[in-house]
Each structure stands twice: as C-alpha cells, then as structure tokens.
Structure 1
C-alpha cells in the first residue's frame, strides 16, 4: 500500500513569510513498505547541507539562503510508517531553515536534488543490513517489484506433487478418459510387509500409470502398482514401484525436504468439487510432504497435517505404505461418499512424473481430471477436536550500539492452538496467546538497492489451513500484515457448493508503534475477514471477499467480487472488482476519509506447447488495502506473456523454445511509469539438466525522472548425479542506483549479478548446501562521476547449511551466513556492513503438531570503538564484535479427541 500526505504551507501548519522566495508552499510525504520519502518543493534551486543528530535517530536538512520566517504550528507532521516519528522545521539563523525528521528506528538516508521542478527529496530506508537477523527479529514482509528483474537463481525443485502447468515432451496418441473406481472396506489395516517379495495385499489394484512429463500420455517407464482400501479411520494406499535399486533416489531427510527424490503421491478431492485437493507425498523411505491444490491459485505446500507413512527399499525397487486419517481431512456429510482420486509417481533421474488416471497437459487444470472414488461408506466421526498447547522460552543478549552496552531479555510464553471440526466439513480454529516466532530461517534473498521490499511467505500454523479460501487475483488479504495477535478465531470449510471463510483477530503491534504519550499507545487493532464463494459449471466460481481493520477511530473496509470462468479445457478468464473505504490519521492526527476502486482482468491459455496470458490492472490513487499485498496504487497496468516449446521425440532433450513477456503501466494522469520486455530461450534435458538465456529491457520513472536500463544473462541447473546438484546464474548490463549519496540524483550504472548453489549428499543422512549471491553496481564510462573508483557498491552473501538426520524425527541443523556490503560513500548512501551469523537447531518432530526445538544463534558485526568519540562504536574492520546471541526452547504437543 502507498500513502501520500500533502502538507500545504500556511494551510496545514507551515507558515512562510511573504518575502520567502525559495519555498513553493508544499511538502510531500510518501510512504511505501520499507521506504519513506519527504519532498520539499522550491521556487528555485538552493544550497543545502544534511546530517544526523543524537546517535542517528534524527536526520536534518539545512536549506540555505532562505529569507523570511518559517515555523510549524503545533507538534509538527506525525509520521505514519515504521521509520518517521515526526517532521518539523526550525530557523537556524536568518539565512537558513532546518527540516528535521525524528526517527522511530535507525535509518539510512539520501538527499536528491531535482531541477524540474526544483526540489529536495529525502529518501529513508531501514538502517540494518539485509542480512539474516536473530530469530526474534525475523518477521519480515515483502513486495515484488514491478518490473524489476529478479536475480535468476534457479530454486530448488518443488515436491513433485505440485500440479502446475509446465512444458512437456511429446504426447502419446492414447485418449484421455475419466475413470471411476470403488475401493473395499477392510477389517484389518494393511501392512507394508503384506506387499513385499511380490505378494499382493488387500485393496483395489491400480497399475495403468501414464506420464505427464516428459512424454504426455505414454506408459510410465518403470512398472508401478498401487493398492487402495479404507476402514473406519483411514484411507490406505500402498505403492509397489519397480526399479533398479542403485538408481532410486531416496534420502533420510527432514519432512518436506524430498523435492530431489523419487516419490509417490496420493491426491484426494474430498468434496469432489473439482476445485481443491489434498496431496500426500512420500519418498522411498517414508519421508513425508503434503499440501493443498487450489485450481487457479498457487499450491499451498505449507499445509501440514497428521498422517502415517512407511517406506522400504527392495531388491527390485521400493514399497511405500500410507495411512491418511479421515480426521485429517474435511469432507461433505452423508453416509455414502464420492471423492476425487489421483495417484502419482515421480522418477527424478528421468524428469518423469506419471499419474493414474492420465492427467494431461492438454488441459489447463489438474483436479478436474482426477478419477471418481466410490465405496466410502459411514466414515463420519462423531467428534474431531485437536489441541496444541505450547511453551516457549527465550534468553537473548542484544547490543545497543548507541550506548554501547548489552541488554538481556528473557521471555517465557505459553499458549494454545485449538481446532474443532464441525460436521467433518467446517474447521473452527481458535488461538490464545499464539507463538508466531519463526523457528526456521527464511531463505536468503538479495535486498540491497531494491525499490520495493522482498516477499517472505506465511509460515504460521494458525493461518495455513484453507489459506486459499482468502486468496483472490488481487492479493487483498496478506496474513503477515497481522504481526502480534493475542487472540484469534477462524472458521473455514465447505457446505455443498459453497465455500466460506471467516476470521476475527486482534493485533498488538500498531499500539506499540506510536509514542507512549499518544492515547493510542497500547491499543490493539481489530481485524476481520469474510469470504464466500459459490462454484458453478465445470471448474468455475464466483466469490465475495470483505475485510475490516479498526485502530482507534481509524478504519479500513474492503469489499470485492471475483470470478474464474472456464471457457474451454485450455482457456480461462479471471476477473475482480474491489472498492476500499478508508478513514486514516493524517500528519496532525486528524481523520481523513478516502475511498477508491480497483479492478483486475486476465485471460490465460495453457497447453502442451503454447501458453499465452494477458492481464489488466487498475488501482485508483485513493485505493487503500492495509491488510493486503498491494505494492503501489495510482496505476493502470497491462502485461502479456507468450511462450512456445517444442518436444523432440526419443531424445534426451525434453523441450526447448522461446518465451516473451512485456508490459507497461501509467498513472491516472496518463504519465508512463514503467515499461519492460523480457525474452527467454530455455532447454531442458533428462537428468534433470537445463539452461536458460535471457534479455531484459526496462524503462522506469523514479523520483520524477525517467531511466532506461537492461541486462542479459544465463542460468543453469543440473542434478544428473544422485548425490550432487548445483545451479547458477549470471546477469550483466545496467541498473538503477536507488540509494545515491547525498546531493546526487539516482543514476544508471553498469551492473553484474551472479548466484551459485550446490547441494552435496555424501551419505543418505547428511546434506550440505552452499549458496552464494553477488551483486555489483558501477559507473558507466563518461557518465557519473569523473575520477575516483568506478564502483558504486559490491554486495556479497554466502550461506553454508549442514543438516544431519539421525532418524525421521530427530535432526541437527547448522547455518553460517556471511554478509558484506561494500559501498562507495561518494556514490551510494549506506554504511560498510560486514555481518557473520551462526545458527544451530536441534529438532525432534513426531508430527507437525508435536515437536521440540532447541536452538542457539549469534551475530557478529564489523563494529569497533571509535577513537575520536569514545565509547561510541563505528563500522570498521571485520565482523568480530558480538552484537547479539540467543538461546531458545519451544515445545508443542498435539492432542486429538
């Protein structure tokens, strides 16, 4: 969300003398997530100086040769973001006016001078470096920049259960048919041993698995059978997979960490609505992964539930046994049930995924192609209650560099997460004093010199189940905006063809971000969200989303309607209309009303070879979505994507082809803000191995100036060796300096970005990951500046991560991170940061609700005593100064009734 406060001098508290010929009667204050901007518009160019006061908690700008008096009436301009507490002015002398920004947190700043119109622009960003922080400080929120090109480091492969539409190899001529199957009720639960040595246990046998990748429709390359049955409590699936034992990829790993292994999967559309499906995945040793598929949305691989699996390697392949409790699923009422069912197998070395029934890329969906599962009778349970009490203890030692001295913080917290399942289809979740700390650290991202903040996904259990119910094409509900709740309740589920989601929760964070003397200090924000969705036709729906946020006398209301229409097996239309109603405090804590519309429309075609999409967004200047993930407003944006991939038959080359995406956006005055084009050519081979060539060109309007930049690059990934996988990327071209040194305007320089990742598994239980990111921005020949070093900044990030899996439940993980930002202070406004962090975590996890964590982490920075101003610290040398350490223990236990 982007907010703008205009302070009219003389009309809103600033008084200028009639003889003042330099000020233009206006200061503009703009906030976006992670950036605050104060603009002072002038009649003519002026000279200025700037600096910090009181250990960097105030930033000042002295504007010289300003005649007349200038003063603020009242307390000044009150900030409404995480950086600025207050903006005020004062007269230094008869010729100089001072503008002071009191800060809530340390910040780096730059002052940019513009000639047209004459103005000074002060840009502030958080001062802490974008390196991994201590556990207690790891709640971060992110927005993807448009149209900034991201560093093209290939991500680790996802669990093969994900049914996203991707490129495939040649199709077979076999027709696609929808299948039905009835499974038997068994009196004794099947065991893995019943299926060893070629024996066939109980259950309906399925063996006609067909490839989706690489050869759409052809039989699976290795013989595969599955046996499906159920009893009063569970659905049972046993996979018997033939293969050469030495070629099967199976490691003793943490839960969910099986993306590089051979796996088998079960998909259950428990409402048979062709919209949603659970998936349960296991490798050959029984290590689990699970999630939820929602048609038209991203897979929710953060969903976790309780189920059981065992796996065993055999002389001719492997066998996997699964038991999925009905209590872990939501389904419709009635004694006789019809569900959707699909079974899958992936063979990593062949880049192969196969399914029963055949699920083809010729259709732009997954769940509607699943078979109908009959025979489930009398599976409803009278009660289903789950309680997860927890206790957490933290002891932290943190350095306050402004004093400097260490502060010790001890925190003990207990709480409860509870779930009551109503009629097997509705889930009521209640949380009391929840622990929303993040035990696992976020994956590293490059965040230096970015215009917008980075995105980190939701990982908190209370928000995860049925999170897709609150998703819409415009992301109007982003749960990480709720920072520190004390109490919350959520009801989600389905009744017939209706899906519902209701949420009520508070947030203590807003009341902690205002001054202690403010009447709102200590108050809680009250937050609500409601979602109703009706399914109709084949794979289509229409829905309404409403959100509400109240804090003091301010509020925000959001109403939205959206739809997804299936036009054909390959074409879909998605649309949304929204309107916000907002009452917010302005700079003088007066309430200002605003309301504005937003809209989105997309048409998309996905197929085996040809993919095309086109979308349009329109967000008015007065649109407000404080609970959403909206990067900016006052925007009209169009974008398109087209790609075509060829699939040679009988070749190790799976597919190859070009793709092109391009787009542009304007503000509502018709001024071009951004324009970009991104061309790619990719090739994928068995192994898996692949590479990609890219060319990116962009225009960006930033701080009232237009900039053009470009880059060309290449990336690759390789995993043909069973115990080794690596990837890398390199981009070179030009890039924009968003954080120039004081007195400089943003400028385009030469840029280089590189990344490299390696995963080494010397034994099935030990995993070593190495990650490296490199970013450099330099000046261009004959441009800016003349003389001196051509480097604007160099940024390094390395991570070494070691994990040893003693058993399926017990693991030990250690991480060492190094971050170094080496700026040229004459060109880039940032300190010289070097940070070294260590993190060790012992985990004992019986299931997603029952776990014990014991961890320790610390951080060292490049601080040293300043010999000129003792005992102050300054950034100097290597990261040898301890700035924080922490030990923590967390225990939770799942109780099920």
Structure 2
C-alpha cells in the first residue's frame, strides 16, 4: 500500500493501525492507489484550444495513457479497440484528449453510435471520459463523458449511498469529431469545477480514464483492471499526481434570469371565458467559491419552474403518493452533500420560494452543508402504513437543512442531518445520525437513526374529507363516510414526536451476494422535507443471489436472486409478507432481461375507518404475480424496452381481489443522428368477478430535432384515458370516463447548463362524463432567458 507524505495519509495509516490492534479485521483500504494505475500530470504555461484538432505543441508535452483493459463484460481482458488519452494542466484548467480507434476504418462512421441529443442523455452512445476523486478519499467522484459529436454528460458518484447522480451540471468545454480511424475528443475542465485541497504543493487525486464501446454488447474499457470481488468502486481508482501549485482561482458566477409567461385558465366548459395572468419575473443566482473547498450558492426571486413536463404516471388503484424527481438547478448544485441512506431531503417539497441560500464545504475529512429557503406555499407528505397523500397549507413556510459528515479513513463514515419546516401554525423538525462501516472489501454495514417532532394546524385533517364527514366514530364503516387514514393521522390535539431507524448489512463477492435489513418507522414519525411515505410500520428483509459470467456465450452475465420480507405495524399486526424470485440476463444486442415471480400476503383497506387497527379491521389477500422487464438495441438507431406484469391485485376501492394486467412498452428511434422519437405507452386493467373494473391508458410522445448541440425544438404530448364501470364499484360512484391531453412545443438554446434561452407554448385539455370531448382548459406562453457570467 502506497501512502503519500501528507497529514491525511499519516492519519489514515494511524487509523488502520488502530483498527488492526483493536479488532480481528485485517483489511484496510486506501483510496486510489499507484498499484491500480498511476499518471503524473504536468503543469504547463499555456492551455489548448478546444477545437478537436490536437495540433498544438502542448499536447506533445502531455502525459499519455492507454486504455488497455476491458472491465465489462470481459473481466480485465485486453481491450478490443485502441484508445489513447493525453492529459496536462495549467494553473486554471485540466486538458484531456482521447483518440478512440475503430477496428473497421472504412466503415467507422456507420459503426459509431452517436447522436446529437440532450446533455446527460447519452447512455448507449460511444463515449470517452474521466473519473476524478479530487480528495482521493473514496467518498465522491466527478465524472465527465463526451460522445463523438461533442455532447457532454457529467455526474457525481457517491460511494456513501452507492448511487450515481447526473443531476449536477458543471460548465466545461468539449469538442469532438469523427475521423477515418474512429473519433477524437478534446475537453477542458476548469479547476473552478472542483473542490480540492489547494494547500498541497503536489496533488494526489483518484483517477480513471474510461471508454464505452457499444456494439453487440457494451464494452467498458479502462486504464486499469477492476476487481469484481471488491464491493467498493471508488477505492479501485488509480492515482494522478502532479498538478503542482494549482489554485482554483476566483470562482464567482452570476446568473441573472428573466422569465415571462402568460397563463390562461377556464372551467371545463368551451363557452366559459378565459382568465389570464401575465407575469414578468427577473431573478439572480450567485455561485461563489469562497475557498477551494467551500461553495456559497444563493438565489433571489428565482425561477423554479420546470421547462419540460415530468414523465407521465398513472395514478389509479394506488394508495400512496407518486414520487417526482428534482430538476431545478439551485437544489441540484452539490445535492450529494446532503445525501444519507434515507431520503430525508426531497426538495420538490419546496414549491415556490422567493429566495434561497446554500453553503457546502469540505475541510480535511469533514464535510458540511447547510441550505435555507422560504416557500410561498407549504406542501408536505402525510404518511401512513396503508396510504399517503400530499397536504398543502396556504401559509409561507421557512425551510432549513444541515448536514455534517466525518470520514475516518476509508472504512468508516459518521454523519448527522437536521431539517426544519415551519410556518405560523405548523412545524416539523427532524434530527438524524448515520454511519457506514466497511470492515472488508466485501462487507458493508449501514445504520441510521432519525427523530422528529411535528405540529399540524387544528383543521388540517379537513383537507382529506368533506367537512360533514370528518368526525370519526364507530358507525364509520367501509364506504359509509369520508374518513381515511390521512384524516386520523392529522386530526391531533397536540404536537407529536417519534423515531425511525434502519440497520442494513450487505456481503458482496464476485459470484454471490447476501443482505439483510431491518427498519422501524414510528406511528408519529414525519420527515416533511423528505419523502418517507410509510410510517407505523416495521419491516425485515433478507435476500441474496448468485452471479455467473459465461465465457464464449451470447450471455455475458446471469443472476439468480431472491428475497423475503415481512412488515407489521408498531402494534405487531401483520401488514404484508412477500417472497420473490428473480432471474436476470445480460447479453447480445446490448440486452438486459429480468423476470420474476412474487407471492405476497397483504391487507386491503380498513373496514372501520375510525380505527387504525389492522387485525379484525382488514382482510388479508394473497397475490401471485409474474413480471417481466427487457430492453435491447436491435439496430443502431432503435432501442426497445418492455415492462409488464400479470396476476392478482387488490382492488383498493372495493376491498376485494382482482386480476391485473400491466403493459408498458417503449421505443427510442433515432431517425437521424439529430432527430429522435421517444414513444412510451402504459396500459393497466383490473378485472373482478363481475367484469372489468377499469382500463387505463397513458401515451407519452416526444419528438426532438437538434439543429446542432446548442439548438433544438421539441414537441411533446401526454395523453391519459381512464374508463371505469361504475356499476362494479361497491362504495363509491366514480366517473365513468376521464381523459386528458397535455401538449408542449419548446425551442431551446443552451450555451451551457446555466446560459439558456427557452421559448414555448403548452396547453391542457380534459374531458369527463359531463364534457364528452377533449376541451382546452389551460394554456401558457412562456420565455426564459439566463446567462452565466464567470468572474
């Protein structure tokens, strides 16, 4: 094991020694190591022009590496194609170039898979890129990839959560072009992008150069081998030294914006007049790198609207609130600093703020993050063990989140998170502690404890029922009144407090894995700035699987796995017990296939709605469901996927068992390298003894045309059609027919992720039992302009 002569390395060595003395474990991991791969990055006086030519003399003095290994699907075998990378630095930027060869030079332009598309939407394309752990501590790594047209993709890999997020968007520069031998890529990564310890004369960063080479299979190529018997990814990076005396320099970014829109609405009546509002909103985002390790972000009168609609979701025969991902830039910047194993911060709960400020910092092995915003609305999730829903209070709220994490060597991380959401008549305060311990390469233990205290407004419960049916009593039998679980969990006389805890153990080796997890959410636990949709529940899960890596086969990976889980409420009453078996294949035509079978016993709705009891108040149903998912790329231009299941399903409206069919096909057709069509359709039906209870269809169509990597036009439509048989509903009289159609046409110009111009139009149409044809009831014209000034 090689250690550099730094304070950090010495402390790491001392920690390893103490672990060896105090326990039976004899394994201690450093971060990126010279044994994996090493490169010394020279610092030059002048940078290169990013034009895809590589004809400047600076490249002759750059460090050179070859991507000699295929790490997937082959296991550290020789790379099937040649890739050369060069790298050097100046006092302001890193410069990297790739020469990616294709074996059939006469047809390379036809074999290369590349499209002009959205930033961060490149998976499936030929790609080259770099992974950098600038503190070489295995916690976070920046990733930058470019396709043969110069389209960018960046992300942050988080070893603590085991997730990779492309939500982060940096401003950097790239150029690429196809050649007779393959393609060539140049990129410049300004040092202002990175957090690193500028006090060091010589830097040591974790590094990996990567190429994705998709043909019949997607080949991952690297500068070094990857051990599949090691459960840690970032500790298998190589090292880059050099970068002598680099400083990130002044890092101040000002992004003024202007948003203009005209929104018109009317009741669902073609004869009604339109009610229109015109809005002009100037705003300012500030991003200031106070030190190389500390970033301050602030926003004043921000535009937090989304330019493009969320993907369509069907909300039928479901008792829990739908989840939508965050897309807004201010909240995504350094989002990973707030992450824990539980989703205690989900910023979509902050709807319409007037201002926000965020401070993130990393000092030695300590990471800090704090964020504060107001919100002109107060939205939060009301959880339960059989259902959840979104509540809204017409008051301004104040929102705060703070996170601290300490990393003791590479094996141990300890953190804390606090959140607060408060308005005049309401508050929710949350405090959490978490730990992640990796005693060996194969073993990971995580634990988290959370405590919350909450106070609701006295009349909040009325939001979930009509006022004349909001008094729970014993006569409130199934279907006889408007009481539901959300009413009982919000009709409270005093503030409530409770806790949540989770303990998880994972053992993972090259060919097999096993895991177990136990969690408990108290009756009165709430995490209103997060997305915890189930409370008053305990859950135990155990599972494992075996993995084969066939040689000389059309399949390159086969996994057989399964798990068993059981859930009770806090009184020990059974809610659900489930066993599932799965089989997965990866193989030719970049295919992935998974299929499985689930046997599940779980309860339906409560009979006496005035009680939260399970035993004697619910019926237990047995569901047997088979499911299938596959995706493959039969041709260069076409990718296909299908998600489907068939089997028993509880009819929650009527508390009985039915038979569900769910089919969700999708196709991505790259008509040309710059024109693409994304089409998906979702079909769901539920049959009961006396007939078909409902059918639901959702179609999502998006047509994109890119003039170049900066300019595009996109047309999208989301159509929903739900048909019910009201005669089959026992306790309610739903609408027989519901239809909706949302359309949008959008022109966009993106100089970089923060310098953008959007111009668009959207509308919404609906029909129901009273209006039998789609009728427009909403329309919006909008324009957004922002420009990032880098000072």
TM-score interval, smaller chain: 0.7 to 0.9
The separation in 1 between residues aligned to 2:394 and 2:538, in whole angstroms, is 39
- Which of the numbers 737, 741, 750 marks the counterpart of 1:836? 741
Q: In the alignment, is residue 819 of structure 1 matched against residue 720 of structure 2?
A: yes
After the TM superposition, which residues 69-88 of structure 1 pair with which residues of structure 2 at under 5 Å, given as runs? none
The separation in 1 between residues aligned to 2:208 and 2:628, in whole angstroms, is 37
Q: 1:202, CA displacement in angstroms?
A: 3.4
Per the alignment, residue 654 of structure 1 pairs with 556
Q: In the alignment, is residue 806 of structure 1 matched against residue 707 of structure 2?
A: yes
Q: In the alignment, is residue 857 of structure 1 matched against residue 762 of structure 2?
A: yes
Q: In the alignment, is residue 361 of structure 1 matched against residue 263 of structure 2?
A: no
Q: 1:539, CA displacement in angstroms?
A: 4.1
The separation in 2 between residues aligned to 1:583 and 1:233, in whole angstroms, is 51
Report the CA distance shift for 1:257/1:405 in structure 2 as closer, same or farther (over 3 A). Answer: same
Kindly indicate whether the alpha-carbon contact (under 8 Å) linking 1:432 and 1:486 is maintained by their aligned counterparts in 2.
yes
Per the alignment, residue 210 of structure 1 pairs with 69
Q: 1:561, CA displacement in angstroms?
A: 0.8
1:217-239: CA deviation from partner (whole Å, max 9, x where unpaired):
11221111110111111101111
- Which of the numbers 405, 408, 429 marks the counterpart of 2:276? 408
Kindly indicate whether the alpha-carbon contact (under 8 Å) linking 2:251 and 2:790 is maintained by their aligned counterparts in 1.
yes
Per the alignment, residue 24 of structure 1 pairs with none
After the TM superposition, which residues 349-498 of structure 1 pair with which residues of structure 2 at under 5 Å, given as runs? 349=215, 350-401=217-268, 404-498=272-366
Q: TM-score, normalised by structure 2?
A: 0.84
1:676-698: CA deviation from partner (whole Å, max 9, x where unpaired):
22211122113212322221222
- Which of the numbers 507, 523, 545 marks the counterpart of 2:417? 545
Per the alignment, residue 212 of structure 2 pairs with 346
Q: 1:329, CA displacement in angstroms?
A: 1.6
Q: In the alignment, is residue 332 of structure 1 matched against residue 197 of structure 2?
A: yes
The separation in 2 between residues aligned to 1:798 and 1:218, in whole angstroms, is 43
Q: 1:573, CA displacement in angstroms?
A: 0.4
Per the alignment, residue 787 of structure 2 pairs with 893
1:668-724: CA deviation from partner (whole Å, max 9, x where unpaired):
111001122221112211321232222122222232222222211323211131111
After the TM superposition, which residues 682-831 of structure 1 pair with which residues of structure 2 at under 5 Å, given as runs? 682-702=584-604, 703=606, 704-738=618-652, 740=653, 745-780=654-689, 785=690, 790-828=691-729, 830-831=734-735
The separation in 2 between residues aligned to 1:487 and 1:361, in whole angstroms, is 46
Q: In the alignment, is residue 255 of structure 1 matched against residue 119 of structure 2?
A: yes
Q: 1:799, CA displacement in angstroms?
A: 2.0
1:45-97: CA deviation from partner (whole Å, max 9, x where unpaired):
xxxxxxxxxxxxxxxxxxxxxxxxxxxxxxxxxxxxxxxxxxxxxxxxxxxxx
Kindly indicate whether the alpha-carbon contact (under 8 Å) linking 1:610 and 1:643 is maintained by their aligned counterparts in 2.
yes
Higher helix share: 2
Q: In the alignment, is residue 304 of structure 1 matched against residue 169 of structure 2?
A: yes
Q: 1:635, CA displacement in angstroms?
A: 1.1
Report the CA distance shift for 1:521/1:471 in structure 2 as closer, same or farther (over 3 A). Answer: closer
- Which of the numbers 431, 440, 450 marks the counterpart of 1:568? 440
Report the CA distance shift for 1:268/1:792 in structure 2 as closer, same or farther (over 3 A). Answer: same
Kindly indicate whether the alpha-carbon contact (under 8 Å) linking 2:69 and 2:224 is maintained by their aligned counterparts in 1.
yes
| SS state at 1:400 partner | coil
1:463-492: CA deviation from partner (whole Å, max 9, x where unpaired):
112212212122222111111111211101
| SS state at 2:164 partner | coil
The separation in 1 between residues aligned to 2:283 and 2:230, in whole angstroms, is 46
Report the CA distance shift for 1:385/1:176 in structure 2 as closer, same or farther (over 3 A). Answer: closer
Per the alignment, residue 223 of structure 1 pairs with 82
Per the alignment, residue 369 of structure 2 pairs with 501
Per the alignment, residue 181 of structure 1 pairs with 39
1:253-282: CA deviation from partner (whole Å, max 9, x where unpaired):
221221120101111111222110111111
1:180-230: CA deviation from partner (whole Å, max 9, x where unpaired):
321111233235555479997431111143222101211221111110111
Kindly indicate whether the alpha-carbon contact (under 8 Å) linking 1:177 and 1:358 is maintained by their aligned counterparts in 2.
no
More displaced, 607-616 or 659-668? 607-616
The separation in 1 between residues aligned to 2:495 and 2:743, in whole angstroms, is 48
More displaced, 586-595 or 319-328? 586-595
The separation in 1 between residues aligned to 2:232 and 2:348, in whole angstroms, is 29
Q: In the alignment, is residue 628 of structure 1 matched against residue 495 of structure 2?
A: no
1:285-340: CA deviation from partner (whole Å, max 9, x where unpaired):
11001011110322121110100111111111111111000112222231432211
Per the alignment, residue 77 of structure 1 pairs with none
| SS state at 1:253 partner | coil
Kindly indicate whether the alpha-carbon contact (under 8 Å) linking 2:84 and 2:99 is maintained by their aligned counterparts in 1.
yes
1:734-776: CA deviation from partner (whole Å, max 9, x where unpaired):
11112x3xxxx32111110111111111211110111111100
Per the alignment, residue 514 of structure 2 pairs with 612
1:633-689: CA deviation from partner (whole Å, max 9, x where unpaired):
111111123121211112221112311122111011110011222211122113212
After the TM superposition, which residues 226-241 of structure 1 pair with which residues of structure 2 at under 5 Å, given as runs? 226-241=85-100
Q: In the alignment, is residue 286 of structure 1 matched against residue 150 of structure 2?
A: yes
Report the CA distance shift for 1:544/1:434 in structure 2 as closer, same or farther (over 3 A). Answer: same
Kindly indicate whether the alpha-carbon contact (under 8 Å) linking 1:388 and 1:849 is maintained by their aligned counterparts in 2.
yes
Q: 1:498, CA displacement in angstroms?
A: 0.2
After the TM superposition, which residues 554-565 of structure 1 pair with which residues of structure 2 at under 5 Å, given as runs? 554-565=426-437
| SS state at 2:235 partner | helix
Report the CA distance shift for 1:705/1:654 in structure 2 as closer, same or farther (over 3 A). Answer: same
Report the CA distance shift for 1:837/1:622 in structure 2 as closer, same or farther (over 3 A). Answer: closer
Kindly indicate whether the alpha-carbon contact (under 8 Å) linking 2:92 and 2:247 is maintained by their aligned counterparts in 1.
no
The separation in 1 between residues aligned to 2:116 and 2:393, in whole angstroms, is 50
Kindly indicate whether the alpha-carbon contact (under 8 Å) linking 1:583 and 1:594 is maintained by their aligned counterparts in 2.
yes
The separation in 2 between residues aligned to 1:472 and 1:200, in whole angstroms, is 42
Q: In the alignment, is residue 877 of structure 1 matched against residue 779 of structure 2?
A: no
Q: 1:594, CA displacement in angstroms?
A: 1.8
Q: 1:824, CA displacement in angstroms?
A: 0.9
Kindly indicate whether the alpha-carbon contact (under 8 Å) linking 1:815 and 1:838 is maintained by their aligned counterparts in 2.
yes
CA RMSD of aligned residues (A): 2.4
The separation in 1 between residues aligned to 2:678 and 2:537, in whole angstroms, is 41
Kindly indicate whether the alpha-carbon contact (under 8 Å) linking 2:759 and 2:782 is maintained by their aligned counterparts in 1.
yes
| SS state at 2:253 partner | strand
Report the CA distance shift for 1:199/1:722 in structure 2 as closer, same or farther (over 3 A). Answer: farther
Report the CA distance shift for 1:591/1:486 in structure 2 as closer, same or farther (over 3 A). Answer: farther
1:134-170: CA deviation from partner (whole Å, max 9, x where unpaired):
xxxxxxxxxxxxxxxxxxxxxxxxxxxxxxxxxxxxx
Q: 1:591, CA displacement in angstroms?
A: 6.1
More displaced, 598-607 or 837-846? 598-607
The separation in 2 between residues aligned to 1:876 and 1:858, in whole angstroms, is 17
The separation in 1 between residues aligned to 2:493 and 2:348, in whole angstroms, is 26
Per the alignment, residue 63 of structure 1 pairs with none
Report the CA distance shift for 1:466/1:670 in structure 2 as closer, same or farther (over 3 A). Answer: same
Kindly indicate whether the alpha-carbon contact (under 8 Å) linking 1:195 and 1:240 is maintained by their aligned counterparts in 2.
no
Q: 1:511, CA displacement in angstroms?
A: 9.7
Kindly indicate whether the alpha-carbon contact (under 8 Å) linking 2:198 and 2:246 is maintained by their aligned counterparts in 1.
no
The separation in 1 between residues aligned to 2:676 and 2:512, in whole angstroms, is 38
The separation in 1 between residues aligned to 2:179 and 2:352, in whole angstroms, is 49
